[in-house]
Amino acid sequence: MDINKKVNQWSLIALSCSALLLGCGSDGKDGKDGPDGVIGVSIADTPTVMAQFTQASVEDGQVSVTFKLENANGVAVLGLTKDYDLRFGIAQLAQVTETTDGQNFDRGYQWQAYINSLRQPGALPDDTSGLNPSPQYQAGVEAASACEDCLMDNLDGSYTYKFQQNIANVTEPLAITYNGDNTHRVTLELKLPQATANAHHDWQPSSGSTDGIQTRNVVSKQTCLNCHQEESLALHGGRRINLENCASCHTATSGDPESGNSIEFVYMIHSIHKGQDRVTSTPDGYVPAPYKIVGYGGSLHDYGKVMFPQKPAANCAACHREGDDAPSDAALFKADHSSIACIGCHSEKPSENHSSTNCVACHNATNTYPGTGNAEKRHGDVLKAYSLAQTMGASFSNIGLDNDGKLKFDLQVTDPAGNPVASEFIELSTRVVVAWDVDKDYPAYSDASYSNRRFRLSQGTYDEASKTFTIVANTFDMPVDAMGKTFELWSAIEVCFNHGGYGIDEVVMTACSDDTRSVAVKEAPYRFVWSGTGMAEGEQIAMRRAIVDTTKCQTCHNQENHHYNNGYNCQTCHTSDKTTRGDDNYPGGRKPTSFAFKAHEAEGHYLKYAGVQSGTVLKTDCLTCHTDDGITLGRASDRVWRYGDTTTGVDIWVSSDAGACLSCHQKYLKDSGAAHIQSNGGILDGMDADDVRTRAAETCATCHTPTQLLGIHQE
């Protein structure tokens, strides 16, 4: 801009104003300052938006709310109009009783939405198995755009909305009786092209109070995020992101017309998470009972494909977390109110012994049918064996060589007091796994296959007096350069417990039989430095670089994973240098068996682009599993990976960093990607491990820093 021109323009304006003032005959007093303008950002420009209710009231059934919008920095968001995708819901928390066989049962407090509609079945998918189309009521929300004057802009980042739904006398399509003494909840959903906001507000209309009122806050979204990624919980087109909004809309009267299934929140969540394990009893035995919902456009959501990783599934605490910072009603799952929660997991006929869905008539803490127990006890019975096994241990001693130069060691399984456990309580088919080169990705498969490094207790000898097993590792030869290497003895041993259930008062360690449950003893790998004849005292144990944070695995998987359920020491067997004999479902038929490949390709992990495409656990978020520096490249240049060619199936050997990438990307690798890898020193066509080590000169880490890798994977 021409600065001189600008000054001249302002000078002319100033002279004109002076002339006007003089012409008006000034009284000589300065004018008063106007009110300060609002500091804010336009709703069209803000990259973030958050909503918060500040007031709610009901008068003659008319609900009025005030809320404010701010960005992530606390700056007011201005310019909201009714024409944005803005929706509101209203529900009350009412005590519900149910009459069954002439007897009244307290079902606790449940959300009742005032806004409902009756929906007829629409288009059905091609596969209609398990669907029972029928008209269903559905709770909903109202759109601000449907009313010309319901939304008022207060011009300071706050807005007032008057509901279209009068709640004083709701008769259609469902009769809902307003009670001002009940807790009420208003909800807001604002979906912008660039951001989404949800909000809720609970209060008692008769008093206006928000404290000391009845609540139903059972689970925390933070707990869901132990397994789920944030975006996988953005439902209804990404509009609904808060559990409180979900719970007050997925009410007991709501169903899916195409499937005939309830979509009540408790029932829906339990049914979804039971996944592929959900069955029902028939005269011919148990049959799958997958929970199905038909969504927009007749799309089928078959939750029978879900693999719920929290094993055993009886672990209520996976979602129902109590203690510090827990929701106000975290313990509600112990109240024995909801049969619908039971049949969500167990189906309407969990066994031939059940003829009624009134589960809590027998399974309760106050009037329990003999030999049963309430939900807390029955689920606790399943878990007790695991908690008892966690207090036990595996103790190794007398590590050395036998007369033939084979590794030999003694083993005792110990109880919580450190006393040895007798063999009749131990599953003798379970194993101890031996490994070395712990710091170098464990033994090469060519040196000792993992099938030759694991030893059943039944293969050893047992001293009944001392309750000690002696095992000779006679299926492999000790490495010639064993001196100074770090070795590992890893227990995959299980002990036996009686099953909890009907007529069982206590779950205790029990002599193993076909009628017992075996549970892994949770003991960390026992590591030592080899002296040549045994343990080298005082030597520093070499540790493998930190790649995966196993505590993150634990948040999703809990007590059981795939096999060998003592923690997540998978890489001790699943080394980088082996492929399967054949797999017709994988391109080329030769599938790697490395831990990296197994974890990246695992059904249940890879859900964004494969599997059920739910986005539940997103492979793009590396830190779901990895340590903060666990994706640092260039740290293991000697490592070589064995893959199968995706066309011929012939074994190929791959350099370290390239092989890590291929564990996800091999099926999708194009010629351009292969050329990029090879031009930067990577090897994709090695003849053997030595060939790769001779030729590899990877420079991947120069550009692909952990920060850069996280950035491109999270897009």
Structure tokens at 368: 């329990």
**pLDDT of amino acid 614:** 52
- Same domain, residue pair 501 and 528: yes
Q: How confident is the model at residue 13 (pLDDT cuts 50, 70, 90)?
A: very low
CA distance 122 to 624: 38
539 against 32, higher pLDDT: 539
SS3 sequence, 616-684?
CCCCCCHHHCECCCCCCCCCCCCCCEEEECCCCCCEEEECHHHHHHHHHHHHHCCHHHHHHHHHCCCCC
Which domain covers residue 445, as residue numbers?
388-545
Is residue 609 predicted with pLDDT exceeding 80? no
In a domain, 117, yes or no: yes
Looking at residue 5, its pLDDT comes to: 35
Cβ–Cβ under 8 Å, residues 545 and 636 = yes
pLDDT of residue 34: 57
Tell whether the model's pLDDT for residue 467 goes beyond 50: yes
Rounded Cα distance between 599 and 663, Å, is 9
Higher pLDDT, 333 or 45: 45
Q: Is residue 24 part of a domain?
A: no
Question: Domain check: are 340 and 245 in the same one?
Answer: yes
Q: If pLDDT is split at 50, 70 and 90, which confidence band does 16 have?
A: very low
Residue 677 pLDDT exceeds 60: yes
pLDDT given at position 214: 97
Q: Is the pLDDT of residue 524 over 80?
A: yes
pLDDT of residue 234: 85
Top mean pLDDT of 148-157, 223-232, 628-637, 639-648 is at: 148-157
Residue 611, in any domain of the structure: yes
Q: Place 9 in a pLDDT band, splitting at 50, 70 and 90.
A: very low
- Structural domain tally of the chain? 3
Indicate whether 65 and 199 sit together in one domain.
Answer: yes
- The yes-or-no verdict on residue 701 having pLDDT over 60 is yes
Q: Let me know whether 183 and 319 are in one domain.
A: yes
**Nearest C-alpha neighbor of 569 from the set 630, 484, 488, 640:** 488
Single-letter code of the amino acid located at 156: D
Q: How many helices (H) and strands (E) does the chain have?
A: 13, 29
More confident residue, 361 or 573: 573
Distance CA 238, CA 329 (A): 27
Interval 278-307: pLDDT, tens? 999 988 899 999 999 998 788 899 998 888
Q: Are residues 265 and 328 in the same domain?
A: yes
pLDDT tops 50 at residue 20: no
Q: Mean pLDDT: which of 443-447, 485-489, 604-608 is highest?
A: 485-489
H/E stretch holding 412: strand 407-414
pLDDT band at 190 (very low <50, low <70, confident <90, very high): very high
Look up residue 214 and give its two tokens.
């009845």
Name which residue leads in pLDDT, 460 or 447.
460
- Average pLDDT of the segment spanning 656-674: 90
Residue ending a domain, among 369, 398, 418, is 369
Q: Is there a single domain that holds both residue 351 and residue 473?
A: no
Indicate whether 39 belongs to any domain.
Answer: no
Residues 353 and 485 in one domain: no
pLDDT of residue 530: 97
pLDDT at residue 14 tops 80: no
Residues 466, 581 share a domain: no
Are residues 323 and 418 both part of a single domain? no
Asked whether the predicted pLDDT for residue 613 surpasses 60, the reply is: no
User: N- to C-terminal Cα distance for the chain?
Assistant: 40
Residue 679 belongs to some domain of the structure: yes
- Answer yes or no: is pLDDT of 427 > 70: yes
- For 392-424, b where at least 16 C-beta lie within 10 A, e where not — what string? bbbebeebeeeeeeebbbbbbbbeeeeebbebe
Task: Output the pLDDT for position 32.
Answer: 66
pLDDT at residue 55 tops 50:
yes
Mean pLDDT for 687-691 is 95
pLDDT in tens, 213-266: 999 999 999 988 888 878 778 888 889 999 999 999 999 999 999 999 999 999
Residues 218 and 310 in one domain: yes
Query: Quick one: pLDDT band at residue 99, thresholds 50, 70, 90?
Result: confident
Query: How much is the average pLDDT of 122-139?
Result: 95
Query: Does residue 561 belong to any structural domain of this protein?
Result: no
pLDDT for 12: 32
Query: Model confidence at 29, in pLDDT bands (50, 70, 90)?
Result: low
- Please report the pLDDT score of residue 369 as a whole number: 76
Has residue 131 been placed in a domain?
Answer: yes
> pLDDT class for 633, splitting at 50, 70, 90?
very high
How many CB atoms neighbour CB 697 within 10 A? 10
pLDDT recorded at residue 31: 59
Give yes or no: residues 312 and 401 share one domain: no
Q: Across residues 529-544, what is the average pLDDT? A: 94
- Among 369, 401, 418, identify where a domain stops: 369
How many CB atoms are closer than 10 A to CB 93?
22
Q: How large a percentage of the chain has pLDDT more than 90?
A: 63
Mean pLDDT, rounded, for 28-46 = 77
pLDDT at residue 604 is higher than 70: no
Torsion, CA 299, CA 304, CA 310, CA 314, rounded to 10: 120
Residues 64 and 99 in one domain: yes
CA gap 490, 433 in Å, rounded: 5
Is 12 within a domain?
no
How confident is the prediction for the chain on average, in pLDDT? 89
pLDDT of residue 23 exceeding 50, the answer is: no
Closest C-alpha among 618, 714, 715, 549 to residue 233: 618
Q: How confident is the model at residue 506 (pLDDT cuts 50, 70, 90)?
A: confident
pTM of this prediction exceeds 0.75? yes
Bridge pairing between strands 142-143 and 407-414: unpaired
